[in-house]
Structure 1
Amino acid sequence: MSISNGTTKADEKSSAFANLDSRRLSLNSDEQTTTVVTTLADADEALAFLENHPQSALIAEQGAAILEDEKSRRRLVRKIDLTIAPLLACVYFLQYLDKTTLSYAAVMGLRKDTHLKGQEYSDLSMLFYIGFLATEFPTQWLAQRLSRLSLYLGVNIMIWGVVLACHAACTDFAGLAICRTLLGVFESCVAPILVMIIAMWYKKEEQGRRISWFYVCNSLTQIVGGAVAYGASYAPTSGLASWRIFYLAIGALTVVCGGLVAMFLPDSPVKARRFTDAEKVAALLRTVSNQSGTQNSKIKKEQIWATFRDTRVWLVCLSVLLSSIPNGGISNFSSILLTTFGYTSQQALIMSMPAGAIGVVFVLFSGWLSDKLNDRSLVMFVCILPTILAGAMMIGFDPKGIPLNKSALLAASFLSGTFGAAFMLLLAWNASNIAGHTKKVTANALTLVSFAIGNILGTQTFQQKEAPGYISGKAAIIATLGALCFVIIGLRMSNDRLNKENAVKRAELGEEEQKSMKDKLAFADRTDRENIFFMYTH
């Protein structure tokens, strides 16, 4: 493989960013010559911003000065963190809290007040993921076409806040079923968009920790949600039911959060209003080594097919499926399980808080360690094994719904959520290991489809006919997470193989060819499999 510089209109003018202009690049193989990018519309939006800026030379110089000065570079990263992280954390906190309100409301009197029978509670847990599953691809397609990620996300958040508040008006299964399904519809856009934003702004070695900053909110919701539900459970019984007050309060808070996201969250580095043009350039150039670009609103069919042909994508989907089956059960039945261990409903609400605290520690530590070691797969095992142990303890000390050791079962409950950090690392794996905007969107959608299917299956592993032992649900935790360990090993081996193949291809190029080609492919919106300079994270 070699490089030739095609003649285009871009060559007629001098540009401070000519080294990044992939319209100047053609790849020559033994049989044919392929032009990488023919127009700016085919490339990443970052290239269009850099090429078309009327003061490209000036902002190039200013952006480079920011990156060369250690204090200025750290100041830029802090500004990115303060602009992005709090809003993403707020969104994910409310998404997980809103999704799991059913678990808290169930022990606050919802099941009695709405006359739920048999498997209807499990079905309500499942219906959220049915709505989620049905709209995952359409919502991601819309997000890419509109290219206004923050506005699209903010509107969805406000709508699901209204839907959540409507739960308070429900009096039977039918009303709850409609609300739960719509909640899944409008929450389905969240995780893929948040992962996309992290991939735009941060280098690969920073992404695991940043994703942990918003994913840790899953665990924080257990602390805050448990405390709020515990307090609401003391509301006077003569007035509005405590679980209805709970839904109204959380719904209103969600609507406010959606408005803040729509106003203040940047769509991408190119469109960040609070950043100067020099800071935008510096933010773009500091992530050139990712070789994955930022954004492109043009949907490319060839990248969609490339996603479906990529074995690694399907292995990630299988991993997400296996980790989501126990999630579907634990997230909806954790409070109920505590009541089967011999604790009262109010005690069950307050005892979800220590489990959340343990989850906080695991998520933050896992995000930091995975970036420190540049290794996602090894850290996943640290997160998965305690939950497998917890599942075994729940079966061993509560074999038929008759608690043999209350303290041991409480400890098992506290450990049961550590596996959630492994799902967070799978999201970080997607952010680090996939390039090409359409491919990223498609892969993220497939990942969340697997998440929805896994959670649907998970809600059904806890059968009402097996209450209070729920043996099938507990066994499913052990079986699925055990299988996940083997899939993770397969993913690691696949990434290692691709890195070695790319190293061989790079060795065939001369030093000058390597430098020129690497710069030009950074914002060419090519997939990871088309870019020999792309490095896969383990």
Structure 2
Amino acid sequence: MSNKQYCIALTVTYVPYIVSELPSNLVLKAVGPHLMLPTMLTLWGIVTTLQGIVDSYSGFLACRFFLGLLEGGVFPGLVLYLSYFYPRYKMNTRVTLFFSSASLSGAFSGILAYGIIRMDGVGNRPGWSWIFILEGLFTFLFGLSSYFIFPQSLDKTWFLSPEEKNYVKGKLLEDTHKEEEVFSWKEVLEALKLPQLWLLGMAFFFAATILFGLAYFSPSIIQGLGYTAADAQLMSVPPYAVACVVALISSFISDRYRCRGVVCIVSVLLCAIGFAIFLGSESKRVQYGSLFFSVTGAYMAPPTQATWNANNASPQTRRATVIAMGFIMGNSGGILATWLLGSLSPAPKYTKATITLLIFSLLAALFCVLNILYLWMANTRKAERRKTMNREEEAPGLGNHSACRLRNILEYFPQDIFIHSD
């Protein structure tokens, strides 16, 4: 394929991906995550496998369309699903454990691709097709097995004892009040009015542009440093492995000290450092070393941003909408990244793209700072309202606008200044 054809194929993936995220998250509660998530994964595996047997560009575009349609709801759906089982102050580590599998898969997929591509000619198929076929089949089999693994709800979790279920329920009730049981369009509209959604959404957009640019083009960037195509796959492994470890450490810090905003800012500043080094050096080794900063920062930011987003919206329909909207804005950055590195900025230096991503890193940090300031002001107003009313006097159904429902949590965690109280 030409660069233009490759960019078109990626864009065809992102459009249904973005369109499906909000409806998928709203439907997930009605259908049940134990059915919807495994179904998306299973069908996703089938489509991935089919990418390995297409023999025309139009067939490939069709596969990419359905891949995006099925994949779009997975990440926001899993973040929402995790919120059914964990209180807010334990979410970041759990989301990062899930998301770090993406950076870890970035490491292992390089190793797998290095080996699988040598199957060139087996079954009269090129080596690249076996990458899709084998990894797609694995995804299909895992999707089938997840029908038997994913519990429908906390009450129906098969691997927890009654005592453990009661413990989890107690932790969730410490963190929030009982939320609405039925879907409400009013809550969807309430979610769209939240200033923190749009402030953090902009940070999502800039950070995701960086993430997708590196995810899709890091082998090409490494190949431009003088490595062969096969070796470039192998050399992409170390930055992703480091990113996985650092992301897990940062998520623990984020949960332990309630510093979502600080971790988000540090992550995108690491990206800025990496891009600055890549631009400023002519040494191939130094440029390769810069990827350890940019890739690590790129994989630190999204899980913390997703957790920060989910933490500050309730009840469930409002939270589902906020989570999906955050990912919609993030994946919109994926479309930009596709064209930015694929066509608008030529290899091997990708100078214009690198400058743009450096600016985006700084803009993402700026919007994180603005979000911290807004949430701090919102918490200050809530603290003033708590002086003049108690929980019984407050109107029901306020969700994250409630001033009184978090009093106990502030007693438990007085150091929390970066998370907008539910």
Distance across 2 between alignment mates of 1:508 and 1:272: 41
The residue number in structure 2 matching 1:439 is: 318
Distance across 2 between alignment mates of 1:228 and 1:171: 23
Q: Is the contact made by 1:293 and 1:435 (CA closer than 8 Å) also made in structure 2?
A: no
Give how far 1:453 is off: 0.7
Distance across 2 between alignment mates of 1:412 and 1:167: 33
Q: Is the contact made by 1:320 and 1:447 (CA closer than 8 Å) also made in structure 2?
A: yes
Q: Is the contact made by 1:319 and 1:487 (CA closer than 8 Å) also made in structure 2?
A: yes
- The one of 113, 118, 129 equivalent to 1:244 is 129
Where structure 1 has 5 or more consecutive residues not aligned to the other structure, the ranges are 1-115, 398-403
2:391 is the alignment partner of 1:527: no
Residue identity matched to 1:436: P
- The one of 372, 377, 395 equivalent to 1:497 is 377
Q: Is the contact made by 1:328 and 1:457 (CA closer than 8 Å) also made in structure 2?
A: no
2:227 is the alignment partner of 1:343: yes
- The one of 285, 288, 302 equivalent to 1:410 is 288
2:91 is the alignment partner of 1:212: no
Q: Is the contact made by 1:128 and 1:183 (CA closer than 8 Å) also made in structure 2?
A: yes
2:352 is the alignment partner of 1:468: no
Give how far 1:362 is off: 1.7
Q: Is the contact made by 2:278 and 2:287 (CA closer than 8 Å) also made in structure 1?
A: yes
Distance across 1 between alignment mates of 2:216 and 2:125: 24
Distance across 2 between alignment mates of 1:211 and 1:150: 18
Residue identity matched to 2:388: E
- SS in structure 2 opposite 1:166? helix
Give how far 1:255 is off: 1.1
Distance across 2 between alignment mates of 1:203 and 1:537: 16
Q: Is the contact made by 2:26 and 2:317 (CA closer than 8 Å) also made in structure 1?
A: no
The residue number in structure 2 matching 1:194 is: 78
- SS in structure 1 opposite 2:314? coil
- SS in structure 2 opposite 1:271? coil
Q: After superposition, what is the alpha-carbon deviation per residue over 1:286-338, rounded to whole angstroms, capped at 9, x for unaligned?
A: 11122155773x22122112111111111121111111111221111110111
Distance across 2 between alignment mates of 1:531 and 1:433: 13
Q: Compared with structure 1, are the counterparts of its residues 526 and 260 closer, same or farther at alpha carbon in structure 2 (3 Å cutoff)?
A: farther
The residue number in structure 1 matching 2:414 is: none
2:27 is the alignment partner of 1:133: no
Distance across 2 between alignment mates of 1:293 and 1:359: 37
The residue number in structure 1 matching 2:329 is: 450
> Matched residues, percent identical?
20
- The one of 227, 235, 260 equivalent to 2:111 is 227
Give how far 1:197 is off: 2.3
The residue number in structure 2 matching 1:423 is: 302
Q: Is the contact made by 2:201 and 2:326 (CA closer than 8 Å) also made in structure 1?
A: yes
Give how far 1:531 is off: 5.0
Distance across 2 between alignment mates of 1:294 and 1:217: 31
The residue number in structure 2 matching 1:281 is: 166
Matches within 5 A, 1:217-366: 217-237=101-121, 239-291=124-176, 293=178, 296=181, 298-366=182-250
Q: Is the contact made by 2:114 and 2:230 (CA closer than 8 Å) also made in structure 1?
A: yes
Q: Is the contact made by 2:93 and 2:251 (CA closer than 8 Å) also made in structure 1?
A: yes
Tell me which moved more, 316-325 or 378-387. Answer: 378-387
Give how far 1:250 is off: 0.7
Distance across 2 between alignment mates of 1:365 and 1:293: 32
Residue identity matched to 1:410: Y
Distance across 2 between alignment mates of 1:213 and 1:292: 26
Structure whose alpha-carbon radius of gyration is higher: 1
Q: Compared with structure 1, are the counterparts of its residues 293 and 223 closer, same or farther at alpha carbon in structure 2 (3 Å cutoff)?
A: farther
The residue number in structure 2 matching 1:508 is: 388
The residue number in structure 2 matching 1:30 is: none
Q: Is the contact made by 2:212 and 2:337 (CA closer than 8 Å) also made in structure 1?
A: yes
Give how far 1:467 is off: 2.9
The residue number in structure 2 matching 1:20 is: none
Q: Compared with structure 1, are the counterparts of its residues 292 and 159 closer, same or farther at alpha carbon in structure 2 (3 Å cutoff)?
A: farther
Residue identity matched to 2:183: I
Matches within 5 A, 1:21-32: none
- SS in structure 1 opposite 2:52? helix
* TM-score, normalised by the number of residues in structure 2: 0.91
* TM-score, normalised by the number of residues in structure 1: 0.72
> How many residue pairs end up in the alignment?
407
- The one of 232, 253, 256 equivalent to 1:372 is 256
Residue identity matched to 1:383: S
Distance across 1 between alignment mates of 2:210 and 2:37: 27
Task: Give the root-mean-square deviation of aligned CA atoms.
Answer: 2.1
Q: Is the contact made by 1:292 and 1:528 (CA closer than 8 Å) also made in structure 2?
A: no
Distance across 2 between alignment mates of 1:213 and 1:463: 30
Q: After superposition, what is the alpha-carbon deviation per residue over 1:491-530, rounded to whole angstroms, capped at 9, x for unaligned?
A: 1111111111111222223xxx55x689xx9xx8652014
Tell me which moved more, 407-416 or 360-369. Answer: 407-416
Residue identity matched to 1:443: V
Give how far 1:236 is off: 4.4
Give how far 1:202 is off: 1.6
The residue number in structure 2 matching 1:59 is: none
Q: Compared with structure 1, are the counterparts of its residues 155 and 491 closer, same or farther at alpha carbon in structure 2 (3 Å cutoff)?
A: same
The residue number in structure 2 matching 1:89 is: none
Q: Compared with structure 1, are the counterparts of its residues 202 and 118 closer, same or farther at alpha carbon in structure 2 (3 Å cutoff)?
A: closer
